[in-house]
Structure 1
Amino acid sequence: MKKVKIAIALFSVLLLLAGCTSAKQGSGTTPASTESPSAPTASAAPEESPAAAKVLNLGKDVELASMDSAIATDGLSFEVIAATTEGLYTIDENRVPQLALAEKVDLSEDGLRYTFTLRDAKWSNGTPVTAKDFEFAWKRLVNPETASEYSFIAGVAGLKNADAIIAGEKSFDELGVKAVDDKTLTVELECPIPFFNSVIAFPSFFPVNEAFLKEKGTEYALTPEALLANGPFKLKTWEVGGTTFYLEKNNDYYDAGSVKLDGLNYKIIKDTQQSVLAYENGDIDYVALSGEQIASYQQSPEYHSVLTGFLWYLSPNQKVPGLENINLRKAISLAYDKTAVVDEILKDGSIVADFVVPQFLATGPDGKDYRETAGSYPSNNKEEALKYWEKAKAELGIDAIELELLFEDTESATLVSQFIQSEIETALPGVTFTLKSQPKKNRVELMYNGEYEVGLTRWGPDYNDPMTYLAMWTTDNPNNFGKWSEKAYDELADRVSRGDLASKPEERWEALKQLEAKVLEQAVIFPVYQKGNAILIKPEVTGVNLGSIGGSISYKLADKQ
């Protein structure tokens, strides 16, 4: 089991979104190169690194987009921010929030007021971490001038006035957070939030030193010199858009004695063949496998296959003529063979997704995983798909329709998109899909701006509750790419999140299932698969810890013999 836990930790690093393709699940601020770099060598680490240093070499298939906790939206950015900065909580390997920079917390009887007492900690420039750093960061998150695409998460956390501030109805200074003194932070909620401790462990809620940010101005978070760290590591080398970057141990971290590694060396290698070559050469300590590579290595003791929390799905833009028609959407959703996607294309332990909320995300009041008692939905049925297409043609007054399928330029996304294109065009005569490949950052920006027709995208959990997925399809959620809207859905989602059902666990759980059923019955999205990962990992690597939520991958206790 030890090897399996390590594998889960390291490989899941490759895929982390917010969602997580979002909340913004995979966006970023730097275009990804469309060229595959040659396999890097171990010399990519800084020259000043000790020859005998314990450095973990990590392979990634996307560039580091942003180190600003209010601006970042993609998994890799959240991962690196979480390696360099701590918030009030962290998430452990069992998906349970644990106190981090908060030494203790008191909760009022009505569940509306949290009082946090901070531990002694300091930034990498020697200044103390204070409650004011949290107040400043949280208000900056919702400040319209910041233009954070993750500002909505303050409302998800139930912070007092957050939604009104985001809607432009109140000033960001009215947010329900206050530094009483250097060590005391009070947080006021509009209603009790069942998952509050989990959601504020997300990087968007990490502290920011106001004086340092103002000193750096527009350069803040764009270079290692324009960043501070209070976590296990600090950024040593990085250029926006670069193919390598390096984190070194932060000796100013309050628990630096527990950190065994001297550094984390990241290398961006988009081509999987080159990644495997780098692994075989000893230049990286783990590698993601795909396609035929998996069969070649399945008997290796270094091979592991694990299921992650990422849901990949097709998002139809309902502002595009034709896609507002539910019968056309249902036709497309049933027209491709998901089993072939996972068994013949990916071959990495991914499973068919006939759902919105993945396996192993959250446990209900009955002690069971959500998926154990939630409903199942049709996977693919090409005969039914054709019937829906005939209905759609009659309703729309068309005989054919051409749609564009947007996807990112990774190998797996390309192969899956090509297969789905072929499946749909074969099953639905008259439906034509053209393919549009873009770097990940561009793909996400296009979807956020509504400049797409159908997009292949993903979402990773920001906190351990089904609402981290189901909230996406409320009317004003920025991750509701397809712009589907239903008043009854919004109202039930609000009751579940902060209304009368928030304090009724059993009723709330059943309402969550109703929300999921609605998304699938209305073909709001077309699920494809829950991501599995096939990896090779060096046996000398131990101690990497992954909670399956947000940026909770932790290298703090990692070691390399």
Structure 2
Amino acid sequence: MKKSKFSLLLVLTLVFSLFLTACSGDGDKDTGKDKPSDEGTKGEETANVPQELRMLDSSEIPTMDTVLAEGSTSFTYINNVGEGLYRLDQNHKPVPALSDGEPEINEDKTVYKFTLRDSKWSNGEPVTAQDFVYAWQRAIDPATASPYGPYMMGGKIKGAAEITEAGAKKKDYDLNTLGVKALDEKTLEVTLDKPVVYWADLFAFPTFYPQNQKFVEEKGDAFASNAENLLYNGPFKMTKWEGTDATEWVLEKNEGYWNADDVTLEKITVNVVKDSNSAVNAFEAGETDMTGLLSSDIVPSYEGDERMLSWMEPTVFWIKLNQKNEALKNVNIRKAIAMGFNKEDLAKSILNNGSVAANYFVPKDFVTLNGEDFREANGDLVTFNAEEAKKAWEAGLKELGKDKLELRYLGGDTEAAKKTDAYIKNQLETNLPGLTIKLESVPFAVRLERDNAMDYDLQFAGWGPDYGNALSFTDLWITDGGSNRMGYSNPKYDQLIKDAQGKLATDEKAQWEAQQEAERIMLAEDFGLAPVYQRAANILLNPGVKGLAIYNYGPDYNFQWVKITEAE
């Protein structure tokens, strides 16, 4: 889930792609940047340098269960210890992984037949086609309550939407109607609802990874609760992780991985440090090779320092407006909140890290068509306007028969999150007389739980794309969508996205226009969301670390090609 304008160090071999041409589907993607090479690492001696990476993360791992994961922290580590049919390579291109080459595809591009390569789980058992069937059925099963299964499969994998709908209505459903079958141990057949041009991106995503049914069922509730209760089939194994409260975990090279010869790194030690100043102190003391994202107060002091990497992510942060709250069902109240805070000032003065104000929910520099950015058609849709916000606020209060409101605001527990939330609280309370914001700062895992339960009024949240199409954002807000979880609903919006996913899926221009109109309706008419900013990312990285892959969507990082060399 990363970047856009990337300041690459010449001595680093960092993967990056500015991005897929929308709806390319053929894997020929325009990265917008020079492709990485081995220049700078060829001939460098690594034999006498310990192949161990020490890094910091800003949050604990909420889950390592592929079907329950929904945040980039989980996806990042799942991606490094697991593998599916496809994997994102060093050039950000989805390439066959457990699929032994490209699949057979029928004429109407709805049936895919994959032949699996020989690979093993960390307990020595072979990875089979049935492992995919089991995992996918478990992800779509309403009883599992997977947050990503219905979102990633609905409208794409045949039968997925019907299973989800039946579960929601407490009706019987048959998991065998899902469009995935094991024809034999090595052959997997996948049937789609309709052609999906970004299918390879989907099958590289962790939700579509396999699971060993015997192991999962034997472990029961203990499955994925710690490192000992997991199986691995990727480049690394997790040898230390004591569960969701753990602040340290360790990954080690998986010698049983089918492509282990391509993995140089022997060990990765991760520690959770939520305070950027503490992270920087550890980096400067030589205690870590890589920090998490730097807070805004630190970034200016490292301008021009070769150890700081900076890029614009296709990740947008916003305030979710939960329409379970009667006041937030009122469009004027939503409009007042969406327009009632100075996001330009927030980006420049509070964040001060290269992030930019977002007046949209599909990011800029994400997907392009014939050289045109998706953003160009709609431009800015929801801008700060204190006067208009106050008018809407007063109108909304009058319609509600109230003269004041108190709203719970769900935010993060990091220092950076608290600063942002405090700023927004002050802005909204100042510009909207009679509003009281009650801040609730919680760890990321707790915020996910409360988001799933819709236990909030306002929630500060963000989204990075899961695949290389604007649908990764526009699909979020369909009625009762798996990631909606704020009660937004508009039949016009739903139809536009349905068309973009269906009859317009192979017409790039028409698909774009449908999504752009849907974005306009959702923001400029319904004010269903309050966009805040598009994030710039900044980390400190030891110059001796080569080959780190940083991704635009899905997992944040891949360590498969990392080599530790003597810093120059």
TM-score by length of 1: 0.89
Inter-partner Cα distance in structure 2 for 1:427 and 1:290:
27
Choose from 443, 447, 452 the match for 2:451. 447
User: Helix, strand or coil: the match of 2:298?
Assistant: helix
How much does 1:469 deviate? 1.2
CA contact (8 A) 2:216 2:223 kept: yes
Inter-partner Cα distance in structure 1 for 2:12 and 2:65:
28
Inter-partner Cα distance in structure 2 for 1:488 and 1:92:
38
**Paired position in structure 1 for 2:512:** 509
Aligned-pair Cα RMSD in Å: 2.1
CA contact (8 A) 1:472 1:478 kept: yes
Inter-partner Cα distance in structure 2 for 1:460 and 1:152:
18
How much does 1:8 deviate? 7.2
How much does 1:304 deviate? 2.6
User: Helix, strand or coil: the match of 1:420?
Assistant: helix
Alignment of 1:476-515 (within 5 A): 476-497=480-501, 499-515=502-518
Count of matched residue pairs = 521
Which blocks of at least 5 consecutive residues in structure 1 are unaligned? 13-49
**Paired position in structure 1 for 2:260:** 256
Alignment of 1:267-286 (within 5 A): 267-286=271-290
User: Helix, strand or coil: the match of 1:458?
Assistant: strand
- Which letter maps to 2:420? V
Inter-partner Cα distance in structure 1 for 2:141 and 2:215:
18
Inter-partner Cα distance in structure 1 for 2:345 and 2:177:
52
CA contact (8 A) 1:179 1:186 kept: yes
Q: Deviations over 1:502-551 (max 9, x none)?
A: 23222111101011111211111100011111222111111011231112
How much does 1:477 deviate? 1.2
- 1:62 aligns to 2:67 (yes or no): no
**Paired position in structure 1 for 2:96:** 99
Alignment of 1:405-416 (within 5 A): 405-416=409-420
**Paired position in structure 2 for 1:88:** 85
**Paired position in structure 1 for 2:407:** 403
**Paired position in structure 1 for 2:339:** 334
- 1:519 aligns to 2:522 (yes or no): yes
Percent identity, please: 36
- Do the aligned partners of residues 553 and 536 (structure 1) sit closer, same or farther apart at CA in structure 2, a change above 3 Å counting? closer
Inter-partner Cα distance in structure 1 for 2:321 and 2:143:
31
CA contact (8 A) 2:382 2:531 kept: no
CA contact (8 A) 1:316 1:453 kept: yes
- Do the aligned partners of residues 434 and 215 (structure 1) sit closer, same or farther apart at CA in structure 2, a change above 3 Å counting? closer
Inter-partner Cα distance in structure 1 for 2:432 and 2:519:
27
Bigger shift: 151-160 or 116-125? Answer: 151-160
User: Helix, strand or coil: the match of 1:526?
Assistant: strand
- Do the aligned partners of residues 109 and 134 (structure 1) sit closer, same or farther apart at CA in structure 2, a change above 3 Å counting? same
Inter-partner Cα distance in structure 1 for 2:15 and 2:202:
20
How much does 1:129 deviate? 1.5
Inter-partner Cα distance in structure 1 for 2:269 and 2:470:
34
How much does 1:123 deviate? 1.5
How much does 1:128 deviate? 1.6
How much does 1:234 deviate? 0.5
How much does 1:265 deviate? 0.9
- Which letter maps to 1:60? D
- Do the aligned partners of residues 371 and 450 (structure 1) sit closer, same or farther apart at CA in structure 2, a change above 3 Å counting? same
How much does 1:347 deviate? 1.4
How much does 1:93 deviate? 5.0
CA contact (8 A) 2:180 2:191 kept: yes
**Paired position in structure 2 for 1:293:** 298
Inter-partner Cα distance in structure 2 for 1:193 and 1:469:
16
CA contact (8 A) 2:360 2:382 kept: no
Q: Deviations over 1:7-56 (max 9, x none)?
A: 9769x9xxxxxxxxxxxxxxxxxxxxxxxxxxxxxxxxxxxxx9963111
- 1:345 aligns to 2:371 (yes or no): no
Inter-partner Cα distance in structure 1 for 2:310 and 2:11:
11
How much does 1:337 deviate? 0.9
Which blocks of at least 5 consecutive residues in structure 2 are unaligned? 1-6, 19-46, 167-171
Q: Deviations over 1:456-501 (max 9, x none)?
A: 111121111111111111111132132011112112211211x211
CA contact (8 A) 2:67 2:146 kept: yes
User: Helix, strand or coil: the match of 1:538?
Assistant: coil
- Do the aligned partners of residues 357 and 484 (structure 1) sit closer, same or farther apart at CA in structure 2, a change above 3 Å counting? same
Inter-partner Cα distance in structure 2 for 1:151 and 1:488:
25
Inter-partner Cα distance in structure 1 for 2:206 and 2:545:
26
Inter-partner Cα distance in structure 1 for 2:412 and 2:397:
30
Inter-partner Cα distance in structure 2 for 1:531 and 1:368:
21
Alignment of 1:214-233 (within 5 A): 214-233=217-236
User: Helix, strand or coil: the match of 2:394?
Assistant: helix
Inter-partner Cα distance in structure 2 for 1:271 and 1:9:
27
**Paired position in structure 1 for 2:9:** 3
How much does 1:419 deviate? 0.5
Alignment of 1:424-435 (within 5 A): 424-435=428-439
Inter-partner Cα distance in structure 2 for 1:53 and 1:226:
28
- 1:382 aligns to 2:386 (yes or no): yes
User: Helix, strand or coil: the match of 1:444?
Assistant: helix
User: Helix, strand or coil: the match of 2:550?
Assistant: coil
- Do the aligned partners of residues 440 and 4 (structure 1) sit closer, same or farther apart at CA in structure 2, a change above 3 Å counting? farther
Choose from 462, 471, 476 the match for 1:472. 476
CA contact (8 A) 1:544 1:554 kept: yes
User: Helix, strand or coil: the match of 1:323?
Assistant: helix
Inter-partner Cα distance in structure 1 for 2:500 and 2:396:
34
Inter-partner Cα distance in structure 2 for 1:154 and 1:447:
18
Bigger shift: 433-442 or 107-116? Answer: 433-442
Structure 1 residue ranges, 4+ long, deviating more than 6 angstroms after superposition? 7-10
- Which letter maps to 1:515? A
